[in-house]
Chain A
Amino acid sequence: MIVQQLLNGLVIGSVYALTAMGATLVYGILRILDLANAGAYAIGAYAGLFLYLSTGNILLSFAGAIALTGFFGFVVQRYLYIPVLDRPPIVPLIASIGLFIFIQDLLRLVAGPRIREFQASLPFGAIKTETLTINPTWILIIVLTAALLAFLWYLLAYTKIGLAWRATAQDLEIAKAMGVNINQVVAYNFLLGYAFAATAGIMVGMLYNSVFPTMGDVPAYKMLALIVLGGLGNPVGTVAAAVMIGLIETLIAGYIGFFLPRDAIAFVALIIILLIKPEGLMSRKA
């Protein structure tokens, strides 16, 4: 039972980590909060669902949805954020809120307001032991998240572009002067961040068997809180915060059977942790 609950928490935490990662990277480099990242989560879910319904191939749906949403991220930064970068931070923030609302209404217009089912059959089965059942969607979520985060870690720690990202996050102006093409860094950043959000969206759609236009709402709020909790733009901190909140909300909902719904538990936990550690779990400032 406890293992089952821990795994459940890990699954939820993984999804949070993937959703918040794009916005964390963007905040780390540009110091803007990209709320529309949660819109990418919904776009990814819809794209994945429609590709699955039309092809029946889950691998293809993932690949197509990730590519499409990643491209959308590229377009968003190029034509929405780059032009307003030299304005005060409130301008890109409001632009991102506007984009987020636009995405939701666009999805409502194109796909309709109702909740759609996302029942996908995966090419592998559940793992069953006497006490424990891990269903295939859980396996997919944990493995895919681990793989994507490992890829990001490798990119940031060991490649030239990763070094350029880290330098840019620490001092954008000087990184520019050293020859780092900031526009390229930002473009890759959005591409990757939106692809991650799309992956999370598809997996959540499958996990809860539902895809709907406003499915990004709650993740958007949680994403913002997780970015703060993770230490504002620190990818490792965001993963730690995401897993922690995933575990807390699952364990409290599962064991104590709190009278609040689990999203509320997550936010109460976030508020308490932020009251204790307002600088976040891993702040940049030493």
Chain B
Amino acid sequence: MLKLIEIDAFYGKSQALHNVSLDIRAGEFVTILGANGAGKSTIMKCIMGLVEPKAGRIEYEGLDITRRPAWERAALGFGYVPEGRRVFPDLTVEENLKIGGYKLTDTKVLVRNIEKAYDMFPRLKERRRQLAKTMSGGEQQMLAIARALMPEPKLLLIDEISMGLMPIMVNHSLALIKKLHEEGITVLLVEQNANKALKFAQRGYILKTGRITLEDTSSNLICNKEVVEAYLGA
């Protein structure tokens, strides 16, 4: 479904990704694990078109999308939950959802999907007219997920869901993502919290200073001594 082929990416002069290749098949739940600064978010940004790779190719459902502007990718079926939530602070909850569904041309579908989001998160319905910045971190995370679901994505890209959230909210969010996955959405989850990510994902990549060092099923990764020492805590 999504292929990254030998991607090199830079921030200014420093290289963030070296020769990164990923292959995500439809229906999978894949995670990318790595320490802070390993380049996990850069991979997400390359996929979303927010960082342009210097070399390599990105293919989505057989299409070469490497040089496509970000705003055209939204319509391809990507749902993006960025690192740190990044809801629009001075827009209301409902306006945030509308921007999430910006590419939906049919107003009826937009309204229906907003209702769906409210069914899934009744809390957001209560706060629909409230500015996003006035909500708690957990509520903003719900909004970020709901916003990503607005265009009915086929592939959900989630960047660091555990960042700045209480453990109970992290578990809640991950359970929700698992449910979405079971409903048929392909999931790519980038996480620092390897323990939790491997519990939910089927397969994982280990990223170390911009390079993929390991790729395996979650059950194998949990047993891998190196991984346990580096990311799971002894």
Contacts and interface: CB of A to CB of B under 8 A. Distances in A.
Contacts, number: 67
Interface in B48-92: 48-50, 69-75, 80, 82, 86, 88-91
10 contacts: A163-B91, A164-B102, A166-B91, A170-B90, A170-B91, A176-B71, A177-B70, A177-B73, A179-B74, A179-B102
Contacts of A173: 50, 86
Given A164-B99, A167-B99, A179-B151, 17 more contacts: A163-B91, A163-B98, A164-B102, A166-B90, A167-B88, A171-B86, A174-B82, A174-B86, A176-B69, A176-B70, A177-B70, A177-B74, A178-B74, A178-B80, A178-B102, A179-B71, A181-B71
Interface residues of B, number: 26
Interface of A: 160, 163-164, 166-167, 170-171, 173-183, 284, 286
5 A-B pairs closest in CB distance: A179-B74, A179-B103, A176-B70, A179-B102, A181-B71
B133 interface: yes
B34 interface: no
A182 B100 CA distance: 15
Nearest to A179: B74
Interface in B32-51: 48-50
A179 B99 CA distance: 8
Interface of B: 48-50, 69-75, 80, 82, 86, 88-91, 95, 98-100, 102-103, 133, 147, 151
Given A177-B82, A178-B102, A180-B71, A163 B48 contact: no
Given A163-B99, A180-B102, A284 B90 contact: yes
B102 A170 contact: no
A166 B71 CA distance: 16
Nearest to A182: B71
